[in-house]
């Protein structure tokens, strides 16, 4: 990859959330190993983003590489309609084993956004099967993010989210105020009052509530009290509304629990998983529900659930995902994440003295520095590259979600770089 290639990229390739009028320059990455990205000129950067939170085992892991190599020699893909294969069976067996009962019916899809679309369709078709077609709207909370497709966008924050310009054509959903009690703060029962009022007024028309349990990701990296989620489960049971937990960002150990809903000792009716499912190797997602809900969904006139992606159950992705989950089940991820959390809390403490820092948040392998003013994306990204690290802030947030395998020394390199750059802002 030479300068001509990078120039072609900037001229012709549309990257996520970028302008074609004033495109930001991209750094050229030619290889990745462990926690390091190697650039076109041989420079290495320590990655603090886990490629948008997915590469939990690090890059180029020999076990995941081997799983992909073995599978690709057998078949890279086969349609899932009317056909099954060992990789999908092995993956779904692990998912059923890892998630809480009664979550035992697995629908595989291509991406996190699609997993959310599937969950919403499941919820609506469930109520159609029960003869309650009027239950078709979604409850949710502000500051949430659930993906970039249309149903998913409709439950993202309508004002401060990334999809405000589509509000005129999106389905109008029902938003409660976001929880205000932090994860480690004292619980205040009034925190649930806004959502409870929505349940009281709209439960007859609500199919489900969808939220990110404990940690709201791209909507603001906010961490809320486990009792809030407990109260949500109680309201769902009281008013006969399904609970969808979007664990695409939080699933597979990121918050210190295998799934974030475990912090609250509850179980959702529908669970969305993605991102780290394959250890970041390729796109794959899952939407999981119970036998009772799944069978009711199939009692409409159609007799089936009305969704079927072309690449559903892709064997190559399933093989890698199954091996990634095996590594979690056999490994020491809990201690790794706990160690990361302790180090982040310790090394983020000096940030409290910086004038431009508004708030510091740490949970599991997630660390957030909230600034008082928005950052300039191009200049701050380049500043991090100049300091030998890869981080991708947004808005007022500089955050880190490292791979679980990161060493103490490499994590210190990341936190030190953040301190230097934030101090200079």
| Catalytic residue selected from 47, 110, 191, 246 | 246
Contacts of residue 226, Cβ cutoff 8 Å, sequence gap at least 6: 183, 214, 263, 264, 265
Given 59, 126, 145, 281, the catalytic residue: 145
* 177: annotated active-site residue: no
| DSSP assigned state of 23 | P
Residue 275 annotated in active site: yes
Task: Give the residue carrying structure tokens 């050229």.
Answer: 28
Told to judge if 399 belongs to the known catalytic residues of this protein, a careful annotator would answer no
285 DSSP β-pair partners: 109
**Roughly how many angstroms between the first and final C-alpha of the chain, as a whole number?**
32
The C-alpha atoms of residue 19 and residue 73 are separated, in whole angstroms, by 40
Selecting among 17, 69, 345, 372, the annotated active-site residue is 17
**271 has which bridge partners?**
245, 288
Say whether 218 sits in a helix, a strand or coil.
coil
Give the CA distances from residue 408 to residues 36, 283, 411, 415, in Å, rounded to whole numbers and listed in that order: 14, 29, 5, 11
Candidates 275, 281, 296, 399; catalytic one: 275
CA 212 to chain centre: 8
Based on the residue annotation, tell me whether 145 is a catalytic residue of this protein: yes
**Inter-residue contact 250 to 260 (CB < 8 Å):** yes
Q: For residue 285, which phi and psi values (nearest 5 degrees)?
A: -145, 165
Active-site positions read 17, 145, 246, 275
């Amino acid at each position: 990859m030479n300068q001509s290639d990078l120039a072609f990229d900037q001229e012709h390739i549309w990257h996520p959330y970028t302008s074609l009028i004033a495109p930001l320059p991209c750094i050229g990455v030619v290889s990745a190993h462990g926690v390091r990205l190697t650039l076109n000129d041989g420079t290495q950067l320590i990655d603090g983003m886990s490629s948008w939170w997915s590469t939990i085992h690090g890059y180029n892991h020999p076990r995941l590489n081997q799983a992909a190599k073995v599978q690709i020699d057998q078949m890279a893909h086969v349609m899932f309609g009317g056909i099954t294969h060992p990789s999908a069976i092995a993956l779904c067996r692990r998912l059923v084993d890892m998630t809480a009962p009664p979550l035992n019916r697995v629908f595989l899809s291509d991406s996190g956004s699609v997993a959310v679309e599937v969950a919403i369709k499941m919820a609506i078709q469930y109520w159609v099967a029960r003869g309650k077609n009027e239950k078709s709207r979604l409850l949710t909370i502000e500051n949430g993010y659930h993906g970039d497709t249309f149903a998913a966008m409709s439950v993202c924050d309508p004002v401060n989210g990334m999809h405000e310009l589509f509000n005129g054509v999106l389905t109008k959903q029902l938003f409660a105020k976001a929880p205000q009690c932090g994860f480690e703060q004292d619980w205040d029962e009034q925190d649930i009052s806004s959502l409870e009022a929505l349940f009281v007024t709209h439960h007859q028309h609500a199919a489900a509530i969808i939220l990110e349990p404990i940690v709201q990701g791209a909507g603001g990296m906010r961490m809320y009290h486990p009792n809030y989620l407990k109260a949500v489960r109680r309201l769902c049971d009281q008013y006969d509304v399904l609970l969808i937990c979007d664990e695409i960002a939080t699933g597979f150990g990121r918050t210190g629990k295998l799934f974030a809903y475990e912090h609250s000792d509850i179980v959702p009716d529908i669970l969305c998983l993605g991102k780290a499912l394959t250890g970041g190797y390729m796109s794959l997602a899952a939407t999981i529900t119970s036998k009772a809900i799944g069978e009711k969904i199939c009692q409409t006139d159609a007799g089936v659930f009305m969704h079927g992606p072309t690449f559903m159950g892709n064997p190559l992705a399933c093989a890698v995902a199954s091996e990634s989950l095996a590594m979690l089940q056999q490994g020491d991820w809990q201690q790794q994440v706990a160690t990361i959390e302790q180090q982040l809390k310790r090394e983020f403490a000096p940030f409290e003295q910086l004038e431009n820092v508004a708030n510091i948040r740490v949970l599991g392998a997630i660390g957030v520095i909230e600034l008082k003013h928005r950052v300039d994306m191009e200049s701050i990204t380049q500043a991090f590259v100049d300091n030998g690290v890869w981080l991708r802030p947004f808005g007022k947030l500089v955050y880190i979600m490292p791979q679980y395998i990161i060493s103490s020394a490499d994590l210190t390199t990341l936190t030190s770089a953040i301190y230097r750059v934030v101090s200079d802002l």
